[in-house]
Amino acid sequence: MTNQHLMIVDGMALLFRSFYATAVNNYFMINSKGIPTNALFGLVKHLFAAKEHFNPTHIICCWDMEGQTHRSKIYPEYKANRGEAPLELLPQFSLAKELISALDIPNVGIKGYEADDCIGTIVDEISKDTKITVVTGDKDLLQLINDHTSVAIMKKGIGNYDVFTFDKFVQEYGIVPNQFSDVKALMGDSSDNYPGVKGIGEKTAIKLIKEFNSIDGLLENLDKLTNSQRNKIETDLENLDIAKRLAKIDSNVPINYELQQSELKIKKSKALEMFENLEFKGLDKIIS
């Protein structure tokens, strides 16, 4: 195990959180060029707060990409419940990546995949000998936790996190992290707009996976369930199969990534020039 510590940032999670934190009051920080910058400003504050809190040696930022993903090909209704992004957020998407680049932090995103899949692939490739902290607002990523990988779920405010290590996850959920996707498959996910087994919630899903280890193990032991549980699962077998494929993070994304590419080397002058172009105020002090 090396002394290297990679912080993987879920870019969309930080950007959306930053946008809605101020958009609720119609505060979009529109600059002299007519560009809203509230999400970008918050992204920087969240990023540097996380850097200060976790003290990584390396940082990388992963993004969802435009267009259809492999999940929407499996299930066309996947995330179809989400409306169009607000007009004030649209110009901030591309600028966010320019901003991250100005901090000499690599942006990673692969068409056809989600940021979660990119994060999962990086974790799978390097976590055996590198400490990793994933900063996100998405609990789906809890399935990636291992002995060297923690997931920090952002809480209200900036710089506040619920950090899940392997031991904390087991203590809280009673299962191991790589079983979490099967729990999600059983209960479905309303935010991602896919059903699981109707009538089975998180508590029952955890209980069943804890007892039978996996969905496959559960299906091999349907005779051991209550009549009600068995009927629910047998009625929704097709949805369960789809949900299982949607809930599991794909850790085989074709990423050409090496750890040294993300070594922390923020150049203050370069960052301040980007901040000045965006007309940010009061951020010079956060860059050491």
177-247 is classed in which CATH architecture? Orthogonal Bundle (1.10)
Q: What is the three-class DSSP state of 25?
A: coil
In the beta sheet, which residues pair with residue 163?
152
Which residues have C-beta within 8 Å of that of residue 75, sequence separation ≥ 6? Answer: 194, 242, 246
Q: What's the pTM?
A: 0.96
Residue with tokens 């999940």: 71
* Domain 5-174+249-281 superfamily per CATH: 5'-nuclease (3.40.50.1010)
The rounded radius of gyration (Å) of the Cα atoms in the chain is 20
DSSP 36: B
Please report, in tens digits, the pLDDT of each residue of the chain (288 residues total): 779 999 999 999 999 999 999 998 889 999 999 999 999 999 999 999 999 999 999 999 999 998 899 999 999 999 999 888 999 999 999 999 999 999 999 999 999 999 999 999 999 999 999 999 999 999 999 999 999 999 999 999 999 999 999 999 999 999 999 999 999 999 999 999 999 999 999 999 999 999 999 999 999 999 999 999 999 999 999 999 999 999 999 999 999 899 999 999 999 999 999 999 999 998 888 886
The pLDDT value recorded for residue 189 is 96
So where are the chain's domains?
5-174+249-281, 177-247
CA-to-CA distance for 141 and 45, rounded, in angstroms? 22
Tens digit of each residue's pLDDT (9 = 90 or more) over 73-107: 999 999 999 888 999 999 999 999 999 999 999 99
CA atoms within a 13 Å half-sphere pointing along the CA-CB vector of 48: 16
